[in-house]
Amino acid sequence: GCTQKYIVKNYFYYYLFKFSAALGEEIFYITFLPFIYWNIDHSVSRRMIIIWSIVMYIGQVSKDLLKWPRPLSPPVVKLEMRADAEYGMPSTHAMAATSISFSFLIATMNQYKYPFELGLVAAFVFSTLVCLSRLYTGMHTVLDVIGGTLISAVLLVLFYPAWDVIDHLLLTSPFCPLLSIVVPLVLCYNYPKLDYYSPTRGDTTTILGAGAGATVGFWLNNQYAAPVYTSENLQLGFPLITSKIVVVALARFFVGIFVVLMTRRLMKSVVLGMLGYRYKFPIGDLEARRRLEVEVPYKFITYSSVGFSATVLVPLLHELLGLM
């Protein structure tokens, strides 16, 4: 569709909510979640990634089953166009923000020395900003946002009692690697079909692929690798963070992000090249890349490689570079 013309009258709100909207997109997931794994706590990261994968899958499928339209434009001015082809209810931005912020709070409140009230306010502010950004950018109704938040909250409540059991099985079960790959692939290939192309299937495959690769990495590390990081990480408690710890954390982050982005770029080229050869289409053919037999393996393999790289290859590189 064509982008509507609009005049920005309040640049503070404009940039605040454009930035907040980005906190529910791939650029945030691919930086924040690995940062937690590399610098804060492996167990916290594992729980966040698993909850995020489950919540996002349910949210994406719900959209294509309910088929509630997004706000009409006009009168609403839409500041984003990529996601306009998706349905509206529930807001997966709201679901992701709620699940990530509150799962982080729940997973850390008994492990770190910080005021619980401060963490609660931070989680509330984070999720609220993302939710409001969906209204400001014209992508969702108030009901979409409330629905997404409530669904995410219910899922958190349901899964919280089983967190430790799920985490233990993911680390110790000999069937974990197989199930971590097969189950998400089955879900992706059996995603609800629409009468027109929507990016929801591709986005869902991206999320499940990243979660699958990370889960295999978690299991592999637990089975065959000694713990890469010691308790001298940020696990001493946030008030005791020193300049040295900050420098090491930033070094880990930039090294890790470089490896992750290179992995994504390399695997994308390789997998698309192989699929293009198999199905006889040029890599730049967007319509061919949207076909089920191309989109699912292309995105699943690419992002499972990203998840595996972030949890296995990057920590090994950190150890090699002395960033432990």
By annotation, the residues acting in catalysis are 93, 140
Residue 265 contacts by C-beta under 8 Å, 6 or more apart in sequence?
A: none
Cα(177)–Cα(59) distance, rounded to whole angstroms? 25
Per-position DSSP letters for 9-25, written without gaps between them: S-HHHHHHHHHHHHTTS
Query: Does residue 84 contact residue 143 with C-beta atoms inside 8 Å?
Result: no
The 10 Å Cβ neighbour count of residue 166 is 15
Q: How far apart are CA 50 and CA 224, in angstroms?
A: 21
E strand residue ranges, the chain? none
Which of 309, 190, 191 lies closest to 256 in space, CA to CA? 309
Q: Are 28 and 171 in contact (CB under 8 A)?
A: no
**Phi and psi, residue 62, nearest 5°:** -60, -40
Say how far apart CA 207 and CA 216 lie, in whole Å: 14
Pairs from 269-276 (Cβ < 8 Å, separation ≥ 24): 271/297, 271/298, 271/301, 271/302, 272/298
Name the helix (H) or strand (E) containing 250. Answer: helix 243-279
In sequence order, which residues have a C-beta less than 8 Å from that of residue 175 and are 6 or more positions away? none
Nearest by Cα to 147 from 247, 62, 222, 44: 62
